[in-house]
């Protein structure tokens, strides 16, 4: 049984510029006293072809964690475009939020991200040289993919996944289009955060 349960993640600044920081409001519940802090990371998938282009945008330790429900804002800078293949800056990719305890990841939350020009004319006829300052970032916040891992909370044992892992893959564009057409009005998947959301107090209990 997990001692920490992520109840909800809200994307605060959806529709921001590509160069703006990521901001997520995270709500989680702790059911027992923890010996160690919790580590949260934000990882940007730079390419569907290779993990070498992944960028760890932020890593923070949160603790001591009180028993009950807590909320905080997880903020991370925009990715470094110099580390992304030029042809993969514009288009669909993935941003990941991971949470670990004592070196063991116990939950991973993935979102599709679409980076494109806000101006319809630029989308139809993009300039030969990519204009980063005119790119808008839209996160498919209604359809996170959640992978949960079984860990021994205060013992050094490996973790094992219990859900699906989100990857951009070569069909990311088709996946994004399908999600945009059906995701908002369709049923929420069983492994999404929204399907397990509780009522949330304003601050820590």
Give residue 191's pLDDT: 44
Q: Are 98 and 108 in contact (CB under 8 A)?
A: yes
Q: Are 72 and 26 in contact (CB under 8 A)?
A: yes
Name the burial class of residue 79, with classes exposed (0-12), middle (13-18) and buried (19+) by CB atoms within 10 angstroms of its CB. buried
pLDDT tens for the chain, residues 1 to 205? 789 999 999 999 999 999 999 999 999 999 999 999 999 999 999 998 889 999 999 999 999 999 999 999 999 999 999 999 999 999 999 999 999 999 999 999 999 999 999 999 999 999 999 999 999 999 999 989 999 999 998 765 444 555 444 555 545 555 445 444 333 223 333 344 543 332 223 233 3
Name the burial class of residue 148, with classes exposed (0-12), middle (13-18) and buried (19+) by CB atoms within 10 angstroms of its CB. buried
Residue 196, sorted as left (phi over 0), alpha (psi -120 to 50) or beta, turns out to be: alpha
Task: Give the residues across from 117 on adjacent strands.
Answer: 135
Tokens matching residue 43: 């990882």
CA distance 96 to 2: 20
CA distance 176 to 45: 15
Contacting residues for 137 by C-beta, under 8 A, at least 6 apart = 15, 16, 17, 18, 20, 113, 114, 115
Instruction: Please write the tens of the pLDDT for every residue from 113-141.
Output: 999 999 999 999 999 999 999 999 999 99
CA dist 145 → 80, 96, 203 (Å): 24, 9, 26
Listed residue (202, 204, 180, 172) closest to 47, CA to CA:
172
Tokens matching residue 131: 């204009």
Give residue 154's pLDDT: 75
Q: In what order do the strands lie in the sheet with 22-30?
A: 4-11, 22-30, 68-76
Give residue 167's pLDDT: 53
Residue 43, sorted as left (phi over 0), alpha (psi -120 to 50) or beta, turns out to be: beta
């Amino acid at each position: 049984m997990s001692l920490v349960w992520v109840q909800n993640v809200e994307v605060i600044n959806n529709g921001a510029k590509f160069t703006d920081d990521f901001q997520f409001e995270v709500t989680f519940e702790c059911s027992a006293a923890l010996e160690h802090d919790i580590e949260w990371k934000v990882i940007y998938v730079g390419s569907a072809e290779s993990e070498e282009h992944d960028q760890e945008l932020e890593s923070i330790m949160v603790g001591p964690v009180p028993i009950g429900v807590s909320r905080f804002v997880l903020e991370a800078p925009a990715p470094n475009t110099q580390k992304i293949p030029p042809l993969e800056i514009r288009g669909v990719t993935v941003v990941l939020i991971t949470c670990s305890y004592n070196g063991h990841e116990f939950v991973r939350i993935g979102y599709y991200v679409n980076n494109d020009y806000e101006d319809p004319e630029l989308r139809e006829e993009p300039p030969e040289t990519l204009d980063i300052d005119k790119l808008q970032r839209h996160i498919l916040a209604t359809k996170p993919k959640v992978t949960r891992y079984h860990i021994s909370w205060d013992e050094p044992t490996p973790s094992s996944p219990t859900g699906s892992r989100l990857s951009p893959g070569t069909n990311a564009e088709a996946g994004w289009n399908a999600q945009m057409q059906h995701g908002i009005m369709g049923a929420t998947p069983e492994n999404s955060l929204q399907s397990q959301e509780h009522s949330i107090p304003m601050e820590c209990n």
